[in-house]
Amino acid sequence: MKQTSHYLSAALVCAAVCLVGCGPKRAVTTRPTEEPMSLEAAMKLIDTRPDWIGSYPAIIIPRHPAEKFLKGVTIVLDPGHGMSDGNSVEKDPTYKRGPTGVREDDINLRVGLLLHRLLKDAGANVILTRDRDMYLGLKERADIANSAIRPDGGVGADLFISIHHNAVNNPVANYTSVWYHGQVDDAETGLDAARYIAHRLGAAMRTDVGKTSPLLSDQLMYPGGFGVLRACEVPGILLECSFYTQHEEEQRLRDAGYNLREAYAIYEGLCEWAYGGRPTQLTPSVAFSPVGGNQVRLATTLDERLPDWWGRDRTRILQSSVRVNINGKPVPHDFDPVTKQLTATFTLPSRGEPGTTMAIDLEIHFSNMFKHANHPQRYVVEVQPQDWSLTIRPQRVKQARAAATRPASVPATMNVN
């Protein structure tokens, strides 16, 4: 009886799914020209699995089924270095070169050009900071992302990706790392993309994953982080795909086919990132409470930015992730999962000095069911002394991160062998 009801409920679920999701069916086969493989033969395949490092499958670069979610996403690709970074190579002929002289800036450019093509084909609004061997300052690179015009008319790229390859005075080190700026709490949106890219890159390039964290803060290297990420006012990450100082890897990196593996892995990571949505919210309304005093009421509507999939009528926002901070301190809030309305009330110690404009830092954090964080997360609320009105504007990422600088520890590359 129990089994019957199980089958019945399974059939009901199936019917319900078909009501909303079934169109005309196409025959789906995995191995269309052969007899079905036996379980025994499938087990035998597992017996003959190749080793991890050094075994590269044939290059296949099909269009990712989720690439449609990249349509209209503004991504700035920054192939690192170029023209051997001004006169650095004149001072040091080995500057950014592998053991046999392969140049990092050339590798970065090939990966960038290939990735540009893959993302353009997917419909992304993709911009290269350089498409040839040329010198470009770090701030100039970041400013291309900061001033990028999005298809929605807004200013600032959705994501900035600086493409690099790593070096260390250790001939065997070869792992993949993706770097974010500052503290994890200040880099939530960039980290959402970084996770997918780091996993895909390490697997595609067969690097020695697990030697260190695939995600690292740039403040582990320098107290102020990497110059290019510091200057970046939009979500930004820096890839160190592998080590050109490792002999075999240097030779692989000369090959545009290998560079295509890298570009394709980043593309796959970006498809998967875009698939999970990029949450945001309406610009919050803020006003002093009509009851008087210094009480402020805030209201906004959260948007998980996921398609109208079946299940859209249930909340797809993790309620435990919703947080409102005023001047760095959490304040009580209410979130209605049905209307997606977020409200908070907080009391200011004063309305500021007469004749001066008082500024308040406001942060709103939440994640959708893919654990993708919202953007923007930070605003400046100003109290105007003339009429006690409140104004609100988004804070650029850089301003919010300035206070978060921590001292550098031992460079991560030095810990690894």
Q: Least Å distance between CB 257 and Zn ion? A: 22
- Asked if 118 and 264 touch (Cβ cutoff 8 Å), the reply is yes
Cα–Cα distance for residue pair 78/164, rounded to 1 Å: 9
Cα–Cα distance for residue pair 125/76, rounded to 1 Å: 8
The residue assigned the tokens 């390039």 is 205
Q: Which of 64, 116, 164, 372 binds Zn ion (CB under 5 A)?
A: 164
Q: Which of 67, 74, 78, 80 binds Zn ion (CB under 5 A)?
A: 80
Q: Least Å distance between CB 386 and Zn ion? A: 51
**DSSP state letters, 325-384:** EETTEE--EEEETTTTEEEEEEE-S-S-STTS-EEEEEEEE-BBTT-PBPS--EEEEEEE
Whose Cβ is closer to Zn ion: residue 179's or residue 273's?
A: 179
Whose Cβ is closer to Zn ion: residue 177's or residue 281's?
A: 177
Segment contacting Zn ion (CB under 5 A): 6-14, 72-80, 310-318, 337-345?
72-80
Whose Cβ is closer to Zn ion: residue 110's or residue 164's?
A: 164
Q: Does 202 bind Zn ion (CB under 5 A)?
A: no
Whose Cβ is closer to Zn ion: residue 157's or residue 221's?
A: 221
Segment contacting Zn ion (CB under 5 A): 130-138, 164-172, 204-212, 288-296?
164-172
Neighbours of 1 (CB within 10 A): 5
- Tell whether the torsion through CA atoms of 284, 285, 291 and 296 is positive or negative: positive
Q: Least Å distance between CB 80 and Zn ion? A: 4
Whose Cβ is closer to Zn ion: residue 141's or residue 398's?
A: 141
Question: What is the DSSP code (8-state) at residue 24?
Answer: S
Segment contacting Zn ion (CB under 5 A): 48-56, 76-84, 122-130, 381-389?
76-84
Q: How many CA atoms lie within 13 A of 344 on its CB side?
A: 23
Q: Determine the residue with CB nearest Zn ion.
A: 164
**Binding residues for Zn ion (CB under 5 A):** 80, 164
